[in-house]
Amino acid sequence: MKTNTDPFIYRPSKQHSASDSQQSDKLSGLTLAVKDLFHIAGIPTTAGNPDWLKTHPTPDSTSSVVSKLLSHGAIFVGKTITDELAYSLNGQNVHYGTPVNVKASNRLPGGSSSGSATAVANNQADIGLGTDTGGSIRVPASYNGLFGLRPTHGVIATDNMVALAPRFDTVGWMTRDLKTLNAVAEVLLSSSSKGLDGRICTVPALINRVSHAAQIKSFIKNCGFTDFFETAFEEETLTQASEAFRILQGREIWLQHGDWITEHSPHFAPDIQQRFQWCSNLTTEQEASAQEKADKVKQLMNTLLADGTTLLLPTTPGPAPLLNTSAEDLGHYRNYLLGLTALAGLCGLPQLHIPLNCEDCAPVGFSLIGPANTDLALIELAANLTGEQA
């Protein structure tokens, strides 16, 4: 596997901000790394694949999200490596290299926003802008010891960027601290975001199945927050969520990219090629069955989060897999991981990853999922739980 100690695929000749038209200094001095799915006028977008680059013109327009961050004082320092067309959670790229996880160099960085995550983790940027369809903010945030927010689906514009599956695509970001994450949220999210009632639901069945269960339980016990309650959860629900998400996402992906793949036969890494081939063979009957499963997951989540309750759960099954993990084992792990990430994905809900302090081990953490449009309230709750300033 080719690794890449520099997660950037493009760097400007000088740091760039939009100070001439600056709206505020809310992000003044904060450096911004942008996942190479977002279009920036005059800069090629590779989407992690050389054949995509060859067959698409250099953009003449800039993502409104990037423009907004720059207009509030952020400084653009480069575009970062992404997994091919963002269709992976590993962070590997056979063409441009796999960014190095500086917190655990023998482990994967997590994808598909791997470059943005590692740039933040190794202090090359303060804000790592990325996307999250199946977990591509939450997973690399977890593997690199960062805070990361997947917002409520649809609250942030996705114009001028390469889509994967628009039904699930969100724009998210990762930071080393909660204060910076909140500063970005105040720029990109509406101040009319809903509140939470302060109660946090935990699911022992979900926590006990991950390798860092003891650390999560210790945090819950010692954080000083008292309004926790436990609820039961059918483990089969995670399997159904994973299956439903993969099929519904796959149908969307083929609608989005099938014609281009068929016309140009791009070269993909074997695992990604296999997934695209799988997408091409999905049927309307499989989609209908997956939708039924997704509807059941939505009903369950609506019940759990009723009246402004928050769900606390593991973000990933454990620390990042080792770099030498076999492709077969990574495939099994992916399906297992998607069971956790699909809960928010299928329902369009906000999910905030919070890292746990771990001086002698690879990074791990947990997440908070809230009802739709409680993004800002989740950040406030995270500040109360961790004692970090937001």
In three-state secondary structure terms, 177 is: coil
CB atoms within 10 A of CB 50: 14
Please give the Cα distance from 213 to 205 (Å, whole number). Answer: 10
Quote the pLDDT of residue 23.
67
Q: Tell me which of 39-43, 179-183, 304-308, 317-321 is least confident.
A: 304-308
Determine the Cα–Cα distance for residues 226 and 204; give it in Å rounded to an integer.
16
- With CA atoms as reference, report the closest residue to 135 among 241, 279, 281, 255: 241
**pLDDT of 360 higher than 80:** no
Q: Residue 260: is its pLDDT beyond 50?
A: yes
Which helix (H) or strand (E) segment is 333 a member of? helix 327-347
What's the pLDDT score for residue 18?
59
**Dihedral of CA 271/344/350/310: which sign?**
negative
Residue 20 has pLDDT above 60, yes or no: no
Confirm whether 64 is a catalytic residue.
no
DSSP string, 339-387: HHHHHHHHHT--EEEEEPP-TTS---EEEEE-STT-HHHHHHHHHHHH-
Q: Are 97 and 142 in contact (CB under 8 A)?
A: no
Residues whose CB falls within 8 Å of the CB of residue 14, separated by 6 or more in sequence, listed in order: none
Q: Which of 136, 142, 193, 367 is catalytic?
A: 136
Domains of the chain: 1-390 (3.90.1300.10)
Indicate the pLDDT class of residue 191, thresholds 50, 70 and 90.
confident
**Does pLDDT of 52 surpass 90?**
yes
Q: What is the tens place of the pLDDT at every residue in 207-231?
A: 999 999 999 999 999 999 989 999 9
d(C-alpha 46, C-alpha 69), whole Å: 21
Report residue 152: phi and psi, to 5°. Answer: -55, 135
The tens digit of pLDDT for each residue in 224-252 reads 998 999 999 888 999 999 999 999 999 99
Question: Which class for 11: exposed (0-12), middle (13-18), buried (19 or more C-beta within 10 A)?
Answer: middle
289: Cβ contacts below 8 Å, ≥ 6 apart: 247
Give the tokens for residue 165. 């599956």
Residue 67 structure tokens: 């423009």
Mean pLDDT of 29-37: 98
Q: State residue 359's pLDDT score.
A: 66
Question: Each residue of 136-154: pLDDT tens digit?
Answer: 999 999 999 999 999 999 9
Q: Could you give the angle at which helices 327-347 and 284-304 cross, rounded to 10 degrees?
A: 60
- What percent of the chain clears pLDDT 90, i.e. is strictly above it? 91
185 confidence band (pLDDT: 50, 70, 90):
very high
Question: How many Cα neighbours within 13 Å face the side chain of 263?
Answer: 8
Higher pLDDT, 323 or 191: 323
> Which residue among 17, 35, 114, 116 is the active-site one?
35
Order of strands, sheet of 31-35, starting from the edge strand that comes earlier in the sequence: 8-10, 75-80, 31-35, 127-132, 170-175, 147-150, 351-355, 365-369, 310-314, 200-202, 228-230
Query: Do 343 and 301 touch, CB atoms closer than 8 A?
Result: yes
pLDDT, the chain, mean: 95
Among candidate residues 17, 71, 112, 242, the one labeled active-site is 112
Instruction: Say whether 136 is catalytic.
Output: yes
Averaged pLDDT, 176-185: 98
Percent over 70 (pLDDT), the chain: 97
State the pLDDT at residue 16.
65
pLDDT above 70 for 356 = yes
**Cis omega (within 30 of 0) for bond into 193:** no
Q: What is the pTM of this model?
A: 0.97
**pLDDT of 379 over the 50 cut:** yes
Partners of 83 in the beta sheet?
Answer: none
Query: Can you name the residues that pair with 98 across neighbouring β-strands?
Result: 3
- Give φ, ψ of 316 to 5 degrees: -135, 165
